[in-house]
Amino acid sequence: MANKKSVVIVGAGPAGIFTALELSKYKEIDVVIVDKGKDIDKRLKGINGVYNGWGGAGAFSDGKLTFSTETGGWLADYIDEPALIDIMNAVDKTFLEYGATEKVYGTQEDSIAKIAREAAKADFRLIPSKVRHLGSDQCPIILQNIRRDLERKVDILMETEIEKVEVENRVVKGVRTIDGRTIPADFVVLAPGRSGANWLRKEAERLGLNSSVNPVDLGVRVEVPAEVLEPLTSVLYEPKLVYYSKSFDDKVRTFCVNPHGYVVEEKINDLVTVNGHSYLEKGSENTNFAILVSTQFTQPFKDPIAYGMYIAKLANLLVNGVMIQRLGDLEIGRRSTHERISRSITKPTLKTAQPGDLSFVLPGRYLTDIKEMLKALDRIAPGIYSNHTLIYGIEVKFYSSRPKLTRNLETEVNNLFTIGDGAGITRGLVQSSASGLIVSREILRRIERANLPQSFHKQRP
């Protein structure tokens, strides 16, 4: 590692991977990817958790590519909509090249318009978007394909943790690993993902970077018979519905809809939360989705991640893992039991979930918002607000503090960029990948201006 690298990318999730894919097209640019987690082959053997390593959290998601400028992140705060759409189309093309399915949802305009009308009558706003479903079974295969391609073009250092970013006179100089090695660079791209959000926050504070606090999304995962949501999921696959509660005017939304999917545990260090998956090659009789309440905290509170973890820990404390409750039991204020759940029409797909009472976990405001939304959903998908509907808790989405960034996603340190979910600017595969393209193309523009050899100046996107 004595030779200077032009670009160091910290993090091998979608944001870091797409940065490397774009830069690796040019042999004059030396690129190194550094990640503290395991490589994809080891992750598939269960050697590491769901967040760290090649592919990031997306490697073990259900692999939904949602092409929307309104959902999946906040990149529209930085670039205009037409440019963002072009970049997302480039992301889509890349996934197709590496093995994504050709099937696309969300293109039937007449059917979507009908769903939107019914949603509006129930006080929802439908956010239509094109969706390409990779599947929890196919997503790792695509990431393996990308890994094999990139390893011939860039240096990849897995199981290597970065201690800090090296900066002189507000210009980035490289990174230092926790074992004392220095990797110099002209450009550094920080894409640490969700697992590195706290590290990035601390580095931003150390470097004196300004930042803002993102909202925290906290709620539950709902499971119903697949037939209940089939009229929506057959057209949209993942209906994105936004609701504002009458009681508190809080923003409540659906998230991560999994037709014929499975509810799963998600482990973050010693914390157990709930999530959902769906596959291309197999399916259950149920559909699951999250209902999340968004809360934007104000001064003096600056740590929404700690708040979300605190709520999730309450559920772990009561049942030593994920809690499950029938909606009928929640409605009358009693704890669910194994016997009552066994009599439910909806059979749980997460067998390890333990019966409990979510009213001992979620603040009353959140429960009110969630029940309001479920009742409203029942108007467009009758059967949602049923005694037999299963509610799992807690689901929480951690969005880190967002450093102050330019329109090119550069920090207040020259040539230091930060992207992806860990930077608090994205929350999904497509926008995370798109953020990598935004930064890589800006780096290419700067390198061109540095008068590299003429061979570098070939046509590029």
Q: What are the boundaries of each domain within the chain?
A: 5-100+138-212+403-456, 216-397
Residue type, 22: E
Instruction: Scan for tokens 């490697």, then name that residue.
Output: 59
Q: Which of 168-182, 242-256, 270-284, 375-389 has the lowest mean pLDDT?
A: 270-284
Report the chain's mean pLDDT, rounded to a whole number: 91
For 56-104, the pLDDT digits (tens) are: 877 777 889 999 999 999 999 999 999 999 999 999 999 999 999 999 9
Give the pLDDT of residue 459. 44
Q: Which residues contact 60 (CB under 8 A, 6 or more apart)?
A: 43, 50, 136, 139, 140
Q: What is the pTM of this model?
A: 0.90
pLDDT for residue 458 is more than 60: no
Give the pLDDT of residue 149. 96
Which of 261, 242, 257 is CA-nearest to residue 348?
261
DSSP code for 44: H
pLDDT for residue 456 is more than 70: no
Q: Which helix (H) or strand (E) holds 229?
A: helix 226-236
Contact 297, 256 (CB under 8 A): no
Q: What is the distance between the alpha carbons of residues 293 and 286, in angstroms, rounded to a whole number?
A: 23
For 12-32, the pLDDT digits (tens) are: 999 999 999 999 998 889 999
Contact 290, 395 (CB under 8 A): yes
How far are the Cα atoms of 105, 109, 226, 233 from residue 123, in angstroms, in the given order? 24, 21, 23, 19
CATH topology of domain 5-100+138-212+403-456: FAD/NAD(P)-binding domain (3.50.50)
Taking CA 357 as the corner, what is the angle to CA 355 and CA 359, rounded to the nearest 5 degrees?
Answer: 155
